[in-house]
């Protein structure tokens, strides 16, 4: 079953729901970054909510970036989401494996930490891009995003997100659920939604049991009016041209040093680990191009 995001309305259009399955894209992120289970769960959770944030964008050329740092061992978590359903991202330390002794669950909150922030930046191509920052509540990601939506975007929101990893460390189910109150929602709608979230329980377990997310949406929300379905994927839009544009911003002296010391340079895309190699001749070309541009 392909990864998919479902956008819909329940409770006579007074409550908006976003439900996504992200199993395959989390598994691809694991392979690309060689993620160990707890790092995988952390990045997978952020990627899943990022996919939903991407689905909230208005136009195809917009992008949303999530930046989390809670001063925990994982360091920074960065993700990008796009309206067309693709996401990408990375974490500072991909090799963390830590289980909570009491719950036997992956200790995401511990490796992320909570002495820090969650920032969401919407790149709309305009000068005044939207950016909202909140402090982290627990580092468990779901709660932190719920707090972000409620405080920064002022939309009462519940978030449930999860990544299930098997004993071979592969992702067997991942996904997220975001429930938001529309402006005309009343107390009954809020109570109803709170109960619903409780009944649904673990979203990754629900996805494990029903991998067809359209069917799952109908099962979980009997009265859902589906507005949009978008396929999701992990994809990075890095390219040789983009790496070239980055290289050319370095000083000619720095580039000359690469020629003298290493006879070339390798650039690794931090979002997808793809390697780009520039040999000595290519670097010499860049120096010439810089000289021409500066003339």
Binding site for Zn ion (CB under 5 A): 236, 238, 269, 271-272, 274
Q: Are strands 117-123 and 130-135 parallel, antiparallel or unpaired?
A: antiparallel
Kindly tell me which of 135 and 274 has the beta carbon lying closer to Zn ion. Answer: 274
Q: Give the span between the Cα atoms of 213 and 80, in whole angstroms.
A: 22
Q: Least separation, in Å, of the C-beta of 236 and Zn ion? A: 3
> Rounded to an integer, what distance in angstroms lies between the CA atom of residue 41 and that of residue 107?
9
Residue closer to Zn ion, measured from CB, 219 or 235: 235
**Smaller CB distance to Zn ion: residue 3 or 80?**
80
In whole angstroms, the minimum distance from the beta carbon of 252 to Zn ion comes to: 26
Residue number, 171 or 272, with CB nearest to Zn ion: 272
Residue 113 structure tokens: 């930490």
- Rounded to a whole number of angstroms, the minimum distance from the CB of residue 232 to Zn ion is 17
The CA distance from 90 to 66, in Å, is 11
| Shortest CB 87 distance to Zn ion, Å | 12
DSSP state letter for 177? E
Shortest reach from residue 213's CB to Zn ion, in Å: 27
Closest distance of CB 271 from Zn ion, Å: 4
Query: Distances in Å between the alpha carbon of 177 and those of 44, 70, 81, 180, 201?
Result: 14, 23, 16, 10, 11
Nearer to Zn ion, 6 or 29 (CB): 29
Residue 258 near residue 276 (C-beta atoms within 8 A): no
Residue number with CB closer to Zn ion (78 or 238) = 238
In the complex, least distance from residue 34 CB atom to Zn ion, rounded to whole angstroms = 15
- Cα 280 to Cα 251, 258, 266, distances in angstroms: 16, 8, 11
Which C-beta is closer to Zn ion: that of 224 or that of 238? 238
Q: How far is CA 93 from CA 70, 73, 81, 266, in A?
A: 13, 7, 21, 21
Minimum CB separation of residue 241 from Zn ion in Å reads 12
Q: Which is nearer to Zn ion, 83 or 274 (CB)?
A: 274
Contacts of 30 (CB under 8 A, 6+ apart): 40, 44, 169, 170, 171
Query: What is the rounded CA–CA span in Å between residue 167 and residue 38?
Result: 13
Element (H, E) at 179: strand 171-181
CB–CB of 232/44 below 8 Å?
no
Say if CB 137 and CB 150 are below 8 A apart.
Answer: no
């Amino acid at each position: 079953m392909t990864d998919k995001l479902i956008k819909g309305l329940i409770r006579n259009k007074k409550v908006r729901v976003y439900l996504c399955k992200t199993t395959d894209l989390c598994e691809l992120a694991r392979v690309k970054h060689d993620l160990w289970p707890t790092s995988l769960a952390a990045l997978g959770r952020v990627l899943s909510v990022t996919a939903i944030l991407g689905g909230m964008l208005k136009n195809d050329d917009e992008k949303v970036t999530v930046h989390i740092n809670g001063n925990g061992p994982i360091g920074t978590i960065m993700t990008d989401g796009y309206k067309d359903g693709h996401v990408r991202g990375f974490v500072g330390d991909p090799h963390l494996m830590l289980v909570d002794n009491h719950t036997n669950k992956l200790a995401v909150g511990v490796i992320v930490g909570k002495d820090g922030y969650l920032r969401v930046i919407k790149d709309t191509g305009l000068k005044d891009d939207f950016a909202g920052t909140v402090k982290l509540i627990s580092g468990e990601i779901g709660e932190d995003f719920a707090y972000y939506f409620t405080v920064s975007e002022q939309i009462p929101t519940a978030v449930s997100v999860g990544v299930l990893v098997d004993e071979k460390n592969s992702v067997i189910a991942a996904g997220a659920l975001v429930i938001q109150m529309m402006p005309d929602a009343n107390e009954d709608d809020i109570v109803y939604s709170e109960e619903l979230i409780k009944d649904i329980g673990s979203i990754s377990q629900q996805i494990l049991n029903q991998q067809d997310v359209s069917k799952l949406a109908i099962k979980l929300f009997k009265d859902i009016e589906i507005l949009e379905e978008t396929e999701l994927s992990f994809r990075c839009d890095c390219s040789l041209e983009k790496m070239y544009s980055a290289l050319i911003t370095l000083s000619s002296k720095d580039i000359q040093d690469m020629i003298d010391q290493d006879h070339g340079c390798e650039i690794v895309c931090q979002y997808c680990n793809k390697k780009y190699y520039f040999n000595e001749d290519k670097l010499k070309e860049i120096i010439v191009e810089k000289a021409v541009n500066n003339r």
